[in-house]
Amino acid sequence: MSVLRMRPVRRDLVLPRLPKVTGVRFVEDWIAFDLTNGGELRFPLSAFPVLAAASPELRAEWRIWLDGEAVRWDALDEDISVRLLLTGED
């Protein structure tokens, strides 16, 4: 039988904070996410099949969600997190 031993959390350890989303733009076949650190992340629209299949009007109906940690399209039931954009993990 194995026993899982928990190590105490280091209170002096500071994890880097991910930037937050401040805006979204669609440029031709690309989607661009503006970030609080002044950066921009661009991806081919084809990387997000739900958005690629949506009309331009539905794509324009986004909102910043979770205090900037994600973007949400309510009508499409689609959300994209900054963590997903930067690390590939959601």
What is the secondary structure of 22-75 as a DSSP string? Answer: EEEEEETTEEEEEETTS-EEEEEGGGSHHHHHS-HHHHT--EEEGGGTEEEEGG
pLDDT tens for 18-76 read 899 999 999 999 999 999 999 999 999 999 999 999 999 999 999 999 999 999 999 99
Please give the domain boundaries of the chain with CATH numbers for all domains.
21-87 (3.30.2020.40)
